[in-house]
Each structure stands twice: as C-alpha cells, then as structure tokens.
Amino acid sequence: MKKFIHKLSALIITAVIAFNISGCGTENIPDPSPSPSPSPTPRPADTVSFVAAGDNLIHAAIYLQAANRSTDGGYDFDYAYANTEDYFDDFDVRFINQETLVNNAYPPSHYPQFSTPLALGDKVLEMGFDVVGTSNNHSYDKGVAGIKSSLEYWNSKDVVNVGFYTGDDSTDIKYLTRNNIKMAFLAYTYGTNGLSIYDDTSPYIIKCDDMETIKRQVEIAKANSDIVIVSCHWGYEDTNDINDYQRYVAEQLNIMGVDVIIGTHPHVIQTVEWHTNDVNDNKTLICYSLGNFISGQSQANNMIGGLFQFNIVKSYDENDNATVTVEQPYFVPTINHYDANYTNIRNYLLADYTPEMASKHGVKAIDSRFSYEYVENVVYKVIPEEFLLYK
C-alpha cells in the first residue's frame, strides 16, 4: 500500500511539473511588476560671485602720497585702499575701471593727461582684480607709446585687460572661465577727449555708438560664452541723471543680448535697473555709473561711489541642459575720503563710515554741502532700495 501511495505521489508531482512547463495553468500567476526607473537628478548649479569697482582715478595727490609712504624710492599705495581691499576677498571675479594709463613710458602726471606708475597696477592685482577695463576718455592721454607700454604691462600679468582692440575679434574679445561659467567681456567709451592716434600698429578704442562693430562683437561673444558683460564709459560728468545717449546705447546693447552693463565715467553714482525691450524680451542688468573708486576730485558728489555685485548662476535640468541667470544684484556705497588739502586720500565702505569722519572731510573746505546726511540723501535718492546693500 505504501508503495502505491509513493508511486501515486510521484505521478502527481510529475504531472504538475509537466502541466506548468507546457504553459497551461499560468493565467492565475501574476507577472512580477517591473521596478520603476529612477528619475534623473539634475546636477547642482554652478555659481560665480562678481563685483565691479568704478573709476580708479589716480590724481597727483594719490601717487605723491604713495611716493612719500614708500621706503624704497618707489610707490606704496597700500594706505589708499586699506579700508576696502578685504571686501573683494569673497568674490570669484573682480572688475575695476582703470581710468588712467598704467605705464612706464612716461613719468607720473596729473589731469588733464594722466600717467600712472606701474606700482599702482601691482596694487590693483594685489587686491585681487582679475578683469581690468581700460577703455575711457583718458585712454589716449599718452599717445601710442603710453598705450603700448600700458598693454605690455597688463599683458604680462595674469589678468583680463579689456578696452583696446586690434581688429582681430578672436583675440580682442576677452573671456574668463570660473566655476564652469564662461564670461565674455567687452568695453567701449564715448570718446577720448578729442585725442586721436595715427598709427596703424597701435591698438585703439571703440566708441559706444559704433553699433556695427559692437553688434558683431556681441554676437561672437554670445556664441562663445555663457554670459556677456559690457563696460560702457558714458554719460555727463558730475550729474546723477542719465542722459539720452546712455539710454540709447543701453537699449541697443539690450536688444543685442548683452546680459550686464557696467557704467563708468560720470564720477558720481547713477541708478541701477533691469531693462527689457519690446523686440526680443532680453533682460539686461544695468548699473549706469559706479562713480569713483578713488580720486582726488573736489565736489561733494564726487566723494560717493559704489561697488556693483551680483551672482551668475548656471542651472541644469535632468537632461543636463543649462540656463544662465543673473541673480542678487546689489549696489554697495563707498566713500572717497581725504584730510585737509587732499592729504591722506583713502576709501571706505559707507557702512564703515561715520558722521564724525564726514565732519572732518577735507572736501568741506571746497564744497560745504558734504556731510554724512548729504551722502545718505544722495544714495537713497539715486539707488533703488531693491538694489541697495547698505547697513
């Protein structure tokens, strides 16, 4: 009997196996659900922090005090910038408008045709500036020899110098890459105080209204970078008001697709704005004038300058497509201060300045309007609150 049961069990098991192998009887056995594919995670955004300083306008009082402070017969510019230079440490890219020709072809000289010793350039580099704008109304002050000497100096350093052109767009348009973000730099000026150069071997400036050349360069810059930043030396001196020429040039650059415009020349501050046109909806961040970073000028309004800072953000989607935006733009007010008779010229962040210091400013002997209250009134009147980073 036991043998019969064992044989029967074996037959049943064999039959079941055969039944399943034949494909019959599988209708009631559910297929295993496939595991869902994980959603791709976009790569983290890349960011560049950027800051720009205005006119580095080296009057005689500044280089003479630097000579007096030197212990080796040269120039020591440390004192002039000691109160602001640490501010630049936190930025990835730093721009400055070098208003005067840094060169050794000519001795130092004052207004109206400036020449600035190489030691000033060394100080600019020591402060960490890695983009230097050299297109302004004083670019031709020392002629071809001054231009070539200045460019020889900057080209020998690890710095982007933008402002002089040779006619070769492949080298004239300047680029800098930080944190996987490639920036293109261009610089133009309204003019050169009536001075011209007549030398085919000399680099030259491009005027702000040379729209044919500018359009070509912007198109090339956009095709080869993530963001285009243009320095414009423009506007009327000593007024906080923007003129029609600035508006026109800004509008054209905006339509061309420029992302940021850094304005210099008026020697006083002018407004900051986002500008969007009706042609292609391009959005451009514009600071119309940063005023002076340092100078030996003599009007109360000339003492107020600013730093312009923002972040460049390169974001990615799940397919690794990149979008570049300009974010968190701020204007940081600064003060150019000196004692009686233009002595001890130095600059400060307005946040570090005090009413007591303002009461002792040497400019009061020339322009009695200057006071701490005057400074704050100008800053709050000119710079929209959304852009103001102060206190």
Question: Quick check: 95 pLDDT over 90?
Answer: yes
Asked if residues 339 and 363 have their Cβ atoms less than 8 Å apart, the reply is no
Nearest to 285 by CA among 294, 273, 277: 273
Q: Give the Cα separation of 375 and 362 in Å (integer).
A: 15
Q: State yes or no: pLDDT of 153 exceeds 80.
A: yes
Domain residues of the chain, as ranges?
A: 46-387
The pLDDT confidence band at residue 42, using thresholds 50, 70 and 90, is confident
Q: Contact 94/126 with Cβ under 8 angstroms?
A: no
Rounded to the nearest integer, the mean pLDDT of the chain is 92
pLDDT of 9 above 70:
no
Tell me: the pLDDT tens digits for 182-204?
Answer: 999 999 999 999 999 999 999 99
What does the pLDDT look like over 97-150, one tens digit per residue? Answer: 999 999 999 999 999 999 999 999 999 999 999 999 999 999 999 999 999 999
- Maximum distance among all Cα pairs of the chain, rounded to whole angstroms: 129
Is the pTM above the cut of 0.85?
Answer: yes
Q: Say what the pLDDT of residue 172 is.
A: 97
Among 3.40.605.10, 3.40.30.10, 3.30.1130.10, 3.60.21.10, what is the CATH number of 46-387? 3.60.21.10
Segments of the chain assigned E as strands: 46-56, 93-98, 131-133, 160-162, 174-178, 181-189, 227-233, 260-264, 269-276, 283-290, 292-294, 304-316, 322-337, 346-349
Q: Under a CB-based contact definition with an 8 Å cutoff, are residues 48 and 183 in contact? A: yes
pLDDT tens-place string over residues 10-38: 443 443 334 344 444 444 555 566 666 66
Between 17 and 364, where is the model more confident?
A: 364
List of residues 6+ apart from 313 with CB closer than 8 A: 45, 46, 47, 324, 325, 326, 327
Is pLDDT above 50 for 6? Answer: no
At 200, which helix (H) or strand (E)? Answer: none
